[in-house]
Amino acid sequence: MSGDHSHGHDNHLDDMTARVMALETVLTEKGLVDPAALDAIIDTYETKVGPRNGAHVVAKAWSDPDFADWLKRDATAAIGSLGYSGRQGEHMRAVFNTDDTHNLVVCTLCSCYPWSVLGLPPVWYKSPPYRSRAVSDPRGVLAEFGLTLPEEKAVRVWDSTAELRYLVIPQRPAGTDGWDEDRLATLVTRNSMIGTEEALQP
């Protein structure tokens, strides 16, 4: 039997996930990490401090003109009124998609991201190709996400910083008249609030 150990392992994990799991195992074995506490933190950012919060903000803006106006004037206060504030969400600006303009958010320097309304940032948001090409070729980036916009629609790119983060308010889909906020929120995706896609169709 050969001593060659070069065959692949069928563990279905990408390299980064495998490394994170290995690190978590080592830290847990050394008593430095409590798995229950770690699970609670992850659950908080995935389900409580996650995209559902942002979806609630968008749905309220779609259904409440006064709130939408407040969001345009002072997004930090309007979002805070719903109980969403904190880490990387202290200073917010809401940018509204219109028939004439589509908004796209990036952080060219690092990966500044509004955790309080969008949860944990996706891996691609932090990647150098996205961070550079979102500015130099926004239409090309959007096309790779499956979103092809009419040539006459302008694309405006917003660069997040440590001081200010952006939330895209996608256009409300047609055919949703009479929907309540909870139902409207089901059409709002994390990517639509970054600007790499539009809200879901009903």
Per the residue annotation, which of 2, 6, 63, 107 is the catalytic one? 107
Q: Does 10 fall in a domain?
A: no
| Residue 42 and residue 64 share a domain | no
Is 107 tagged catalytic?
Answer: yes
* Whole-number pLDDT of residue 139: 97
> CA 41 to CA 108: how far, in whole Å?
27
Instruction: Extract the tokens encoding 68.
Output: 């939408």
3-state secondary structure of 180: coil
Per the residue annotation, which of 2, 6, 81, 112 is the catalytic one? 112
CA distances for 92 relative to 96, 110, 114, 134, angstroms: 13, 17, 8, 20
- Measured in degrees and rounded to the nearest 5, phi and psi for residue 111 equal -155, 45
Q: Is the dihedral of CA 102, 76, 129, 18 positive or negative?
A: negative
In the chain, the number of structural domains is 2
Is it the case that residue 154 has pLDDT exceeding 90? yes
> CA 172 to CA 155: how far, in whole Å?
18
| Residue 65 and residue 39 share a domain | no
| Residue 67 and residue 40 share a domain | no
- Name the burial class of residue 147, with classes exposed (0-12), middle (13-18) and buried (19+) by CB atoms within 10 angstroms of its CB: middle
| Residue 103 and residue 22 share a domain | no
3-state secondary structure of 25: helix
Per the residue annotation, which of 2, 85, 110, 132 is the catalytic one? 110
Query: Regarding predicted confidence, which is higher, 15 or 111?
Result: 111
What is the mean pLDDT of the segment spanning 146-173? 96
| Residue 89 and residue 62 share a domain | yes
CATH of the domain at 188: 3.90.330.10
Q: Does 199 fall in a domain?
A: no
| Residue 125 and residue 35 share a domain | no
Is 111 tagged catalytic?
Answer: yes
| Residue 105 and residue 19 share a domain | no
Beta bridge partners of 154: 101
> CA 28 to CA 50: how far, in whole Å?
26
pLDDT band at 166 (very low <50, low <70, confident <90, very high): very high
- Helix H or strand E encompassing 43: helix 35-43
* Whole-number pLDDT of residue 88: 52
Q: Does 200 fall in a domain?
A: no
Per-residue model confidence as pLDDT tens digits over 141-151: 999 999 999 99
* Whole-number pLDDT of residue 116: 86
Is it the case that residue 11 has pLDDT exceeding 60? no
What rounded mean pLDDT belongs to the chain?
A: 87
* Whole-number pLDDT of residue 9: 41
Is it the case that residue 134 has pLDDT exceeding 80? yes
Binding residues for Fe(3+), by number, are 107, 110-112
Q: Does 1 fall in a domain?
A: no
| Residue 81 and residue 36 share a domain | no
Per-residue model confidence as pLDDT tens digits over 80-100: 999 988 655 579 999 999 999
Per-residue model confidence as pLDDT tens digits over 29-54: 888 778 887 777 766 665 565 799 99
| Residue 147 and residue 60 share a domain | yes
- Residues counted in the chain: 202
> Which of the listed residues 5, 24, 46 is the one where a domain comes to its end?
46
| Residue 70 and residue 42 share a domain | no
> CA 147 to CA 144: how far, in whole Å?
7
* Whole-number pLDDT of residue 181: 97
Is 85 tagged catalytic?
Answer: no
> Which of the listed residues 7, 28, 46 is the one where a domain comes to its end?
46
| Residue 27 and residue 103 share a domain | no
| Residue 183 and residue 86 share a domain | yes
Q: Does 4 fall in a domain?
A: no
Domain extent for 27: 15-46
Per DSSP, 47 falls in state I
Q: Does 2 fall in a domain?
A: no
Is 160 tagged catalytic?
Answer: no
